[in-house]
A = this chain, B = another copy of it.
């Protein structure tokens, strides 16, 4: 597997496609090129070679300790030392404070190189963001420099066996100790890198209930619970009452330990409150946009790697006859294989543009000149986030599966690497809020947030982008326009007061997919219109997207606004009588 960082596409997307009409490139192209080149070299040379051994060896648990796969220690140490952990983190605590879009690009490269290792900085950055936004000055001073440098790592402890998507069901308790600290008791599952051998301390952010907490999600508070209690000088001191009781045996990302964490079975883990009591969920929401963006980015990263693998195999493998070849032709020459290859490239390049657009909106929300511009950018980021997360991870799964299929029988053999990508990416539609939950978020909270104004602006931009490329799109332009029309009609249907809430929930995934198709298609159109000689593939990608994806729009609209669907059929078949 010799994945190569797609540097040119990344730079073009960062500088030209993602900023959109409201924005500017995150840095000038030459500076970006230096950063991306450097990250690419690190990811290709130091991390990518670990991916397969991470899968075959896996993380190992014994007596409460977790051993990560061979090579992780050194690669992670060098990654952190080079500052890759801190690209977009706060300068005050040692980060480089570069735009989120830049950090997104470098994280894409790490994720393609080794998705299982990449989950560690995702969580650490999330923990740092939550502390920075909500923790006291003392906690920040103690934890942030080490989390941002990567000397320590972070975790997010949300899920409990009875409480996955439904945090109202959380039971972990926090009792004030009288000295300003709390004693935490409870069990958490599915904690990514909850225990490992890569850092000198692990900073757990834990959702728990105070004794006087109201029930439900309004009674959840956030605590910081370090593995080792920091001494006054900040160095890790005594061991806290938290341990890892086991790790999961998973379908994929086997190098990433998924831990069951036990807090306080020796009397109570020492924790410190982050933010206000009972406001833990709000603290978590702070980082949700970014965590969901980075999960969507996993779809991009694996799609990129799978596309490269599929294309290389399809050009090397010779089977059957095809026009223009004597003897056996490369399978890429067979029309159905060419079709798949073109489709997965259109998906890959366009979901990258989508993810980077969301990152650019996050940056504008923080740095735009006016309050209004920042508020509008925040609306945009919050609208795009569930679409990035769900559409891109679904696309990542499709592309990885196509890569397996193009390999034929070899795709089913683990040594080829295609199967690992297929297994690894399958978690992405599940964690960080299932894709159905993203769709429900989009439909029930996002599209109506400002009376549909932001969706209308997105649609207007999409029309502008499609128009800018209409000559290049040729006959396929009509497909793009029809998809935009379908999105507009579907949005109107969902926002209509006559549409029942149950119907909205029902069709939410179809609506999210339609929205994703329109966004990715018009981003390709925008890129096609801006493409120089180095981007000669963009007009082709835009046309292929129109023929392969935009064409779905009418069927999706028909599902969304179906007058003939009977909810009772679904309820009955679901076993609810």
Contact = CB atoms under 8 A, between A and B. Distances in A.
Nearest to A253: B412
A55 to B, nearest CB: 11
Interface of A: 159, 162-166, 168-169, 189-190, 248-252, 311, 314-315, 318-320, 323-324, 328, 330, 332-339, 341-342, 345-346, 397, 401, 404-405, 408-409, 411-415, 419, 422-423, 426-427, 429-431, 434-436, 439-440, 474-476, 478-479, 502-503, 505-506, 508-509, 537, 540-541, 543-544, 546-548, 551-555, 558-559, 562-567, 569-576
A123 to B, nearest CB: 15
A430 B411 contact: yes
A440 B429 CA distance: 32
Given A405-B430, A475-B564, 10 more contacts: A249-B414, A251-B413, A330-B576, A334-B505, A336-B506, A336-B508, A337-B436, A338-B573, A409-B431, A476-B564
A213 to B, nearest CB: 18
A537 B333 contact: no
Contact of A574 (B337, B431, B547, B565): B337
A166 B320 contact: yes
A567 B335 contact: yes
A367 B571 CA distance: 43
A319 B169 CA distance: 8
A413 B338 CA distance: 35
A547 B575 contact: no
Given A251-B422, A412-B250, A575-B311, A169 B328 contact: yes
A576 B332 contact: yes
B315 A575 contact: yes
Contact of A332 (B314, B509, B551, B575): B575
Given A426-B422, A559-B551, A345 B573 contact: yes
Contacts of A164: 319, 408-409
Contacts of A337: 436, 574
Contact of A555 (B169, B409, B427, B554): B554
Given A320-B166, A408-B434, A409-B430, A440 B564 contact: no
Contact of A166 (B168, B311, B319): B319
B412 A252 contact: yes
Contacts of A439: 336
A346 B503 CA distance: 20
28 contacts: A164-B408, A166-B319, A189-B409, A249-B415, A250-B419, A251-B419, A311-B575, A333-B571, A336-B439, A336-B506, A337-B436, A338-B506, A338-B573, A341-B575, A401-B426, A404-B430, A405-B436, A408-B434, A409-B431, A411-B430, A476-B564, A537-B572, A543-B566, A548-B559, A551-B559, A551-B562, A552-B555, A554-B554
